[in-house]
Structure 1
Amino acid sequence: MNSSSASSSAPSLFSRLSSPADRLGFGAMQLPGRWAGPAVERATAVAVARRAVELGARHIDTAAFYFSATERANDILREALHPYPDVTIATKVGPLRTATGEMYAEARPEQLRGLVEENLRQLGIDALDLVYLRVGRLKAVGAVPLGERFAVLAALREEGLVRRLGVSNVSAEQLAEARAIAPVEAVQNRFGVLDQADGALVDECAGAGIAYMPFFALGGGHTDLESGNLRTVAERHGATAHQIALAWGLARSPAIVQIPGTSSLTHLEENMAAARIALDEDDLALLEPVAD
């Protein structure tokens, strides 16, 4: 996907998602280490990124603002994978972080080109496969217009620096606003078996041929991932609750691309094996959200 020139006529991202294996990618956020914790050993992080591709990951999710005190996710990916194989490299722009890691503001429209170019330099490529406009920092901000900022990314797409556009942390109204400006090929929002509030937007994306990349698909801080019905289904399949959470997303919608992140080879192998788990109707019924 990462040739030296971009093409707006490239096949849509959604058209590449023909099987569960095609829809299980890799998130690079943890490769540098925890944002406020110790860095991962570089050799280990490089090995994890390479192994993800060996195991079939064809979608890599990253960002220039994924960094620890000593390492950057994009630098690790470049060492591990450049020149890149047939993978989609997706990045996000919008949040601004200080050198010590605090997200302190959102980029203004005039700053977005520089952020895109920063990702290009770090990854060592001439065009980005997919760039999301990330709205807000850690909380969804559905009432905030994004048109002016998204239009900047649309212009960069016309220039050839970006192949495909996405939006992240958005409401249905914000997605519609972006789609009125330029084609949107992916949405990245919070969604998972324990947090299904965005289900209507998942279905909207599937109907529109837009890929949906959940973040926090493995719980995002939930403490009950290993209990209740999720554990029951996991025991049925001889799997872990984390694997079932990933398999559930793949079964929930043909639009969903899971992008679990890890800096552990053991966890990576476990995550990627989730594509081979086929949940039946009884499993899915157990994992339906409980009505209020």
Structure 2
Amino acid sequence: MTHETTLTDDIFLLGGDLPVRRTGFGTMRLTDATGDGTQSGAQIWRAPADPSDAIRVLRRAVELGVQLIDTADAYALGESEDLVAAALHPYADELVIATKVGMVRPSPTDWVPLGHPAYLAQQVELSLRRLRVDRIDLLQLHRLDPAYPIADQVGALAALRDQGKIRHIGLSEVTLDELEQAQQVAPIAAIQNHYNLATRGHEAVLDHTTAAGIAFLPFFPLATGDLARPGSAIAAIADELGAAPSQVALAWLLHRAPNMLPIPGTASIAHLEQNLGAARLRLTDEQLLRLGS
């Protein structure tokens, strides 16, 4: 394996003590609602009937230098965590496994936050079993549940951290006020919010995490919408760099802040290799200006 085909050594210290290369891998798209591999109308409800392709993608990601794998107990009702373990356990020392709890799936189309402290504790136990670990590197609260105080929800995870079952705590899709409330209860190592070149509604959260040394994991990092239409700035810059528009979108994220850890997901090895190639792109100040930086 030549250096040119692997990720660059652009390292972030997750939680201050876990070094990871900044481009990770998200497992949501390894699930398959249709059973035909097309992902058409995927509802993140079932693992593929034949997991061999998903296992190959996960192993290839690690071969190419990915050190952060992100999953959730709500992805395919826990089967995504099973896939991660089937592909990668026993885990390499440098591999960081992140998962999420706090979301129930009563049907293929429903995602319902549930933050009862006892439920969160139970789900962490189940994630530990499925991932085959004694401690989860990064446990994220999938969504805050408005039915319970933030202090109770984050406090439940802090108690599990004190028991040695969680190393670091993260939150997903939170406001700056919610993050600051959570920080009064326990140290927060990572935030996973909807953010990409076309969707920048969480700038205040991003700026806060950058200043505090908190990892920011943007989900849906490749969503560019009309920004990638023919003749657009992304398309033009992609042509200039000999890259795909999706690579430009990922490179922009990596340039946006030093604590940005994109976790693009795919069920295709070709797309995986393309996504990871974005880490080698270098955008000029003029190109960043054209992208709205």
Change (3 A) 1:241 1:145: farther
2:248 corresponds to 1:244: yes
Structure 1 distance, partners of 2:229, 2:243, is 11
- Three-state SS of the structure 2 residue aligned to 1:189 is strand
Q: CA contact under 8 A between 1:246 and 1:271: conserved in structure 2?
A: yes
Task: Name which structure has the greater RCO, CA cutoff 8 Å, separation 6+.
Answer: 1
Higher mean Cα deviation, 227-236 or 159-168?
227-236
Structure 1 distance, partners of 2:218, 2:148, is 21
Aligned residues: 270
Corresponding residue number in structure 2 for 1:8: none
Q: Percent sequence identity over matched residues?
A: 38
What are the within-5 Å matches in structure 2 for residues 78-227 of structure 1? 78-85=85-92, 86-98=94-106, 100=108, 102-136=110-144, 145-219=149-223, 222=225, 224-227=227-230
Q: CA contact under 8 A between 1:95 and 1:136: conserved in structure 2?
A: no
Structure 2 distance, partners of 1:189, 1:144, is 20
Q: Which runs of 4+ in 1 moved over 4 A?
A: 14-18, 36-39
What are the within-5 Å matches in structure 2 for residues 4-19 of structure 1? 13=14, 15=16
Deviation at 1:107, TM superposition (A): 3.4
Deviation at 1:62, TM superposition (A): 0.3
Write the deviation string for residues 177-227 of structure 1: whole angstroms up to 9, x where unpaired. 11111110100001111111212221211110101000011118x354344
TM-score, reference length from structure 2: 0.85
Structure 1 distance, partners of 2:56, 2:229, is 28
Structure 1 distance, partners of 2:233, 2:102, is 37
Q: What RMSD in Å do the two structures reach over aligned CA positions?
A: 2.4
Corresponding residue number in structure 1 for 2:81: 74
Corresponding residue number in structure 1 for 2:52: 43
Aligned residue type for 2:71: T
Structure 2 distance, partners of 1:25, 1:62, is 11
2:278 corresponds to 1:274: yes
Structure 2 distance, partners of 1:144, 1:281, is 45
- Three-state SS of the structure 2 residue aligned to 1:30 is helix
Q: CA contact under 8 A between 2:251 and 2:279: conserved in structure 1?
A: yes
Deviation at 1:229, TM superposition (A): 1.1
Aligned residue type for 1:27: G
Corresponding residue number in structure 1 for 2:30: 31
Change (3 A) 1:114 1:187: same
Structure 1 distance, partners of 2:263, 2:188, is 19
Corresponding residue number in structure 1 for 2:233: 229
Q: CA contact under 8 A between 1:17 and 1:23: conserved in structure 2?
A: no
Q: CA contact under 8 A between 1:186 and 1:210: conserved in structure 2?
A: yes
Q: CA contact under 8 A between 1:135 and 1:146: conserved in structure 2?
A: no
- Three-state SS of the structure 1 residue aligned to 2:53 is helix
Q: CA contact under 8 A between 2:143 and 2:172: conserved in structure 1?
A: yes
2:268 corresponds to 1:264: yes
Structure 2 distance, partners of 1:281, 1:145, is 44
Change (3 A) 1:155 1:62: same
Aligned residue type for 1:174: E
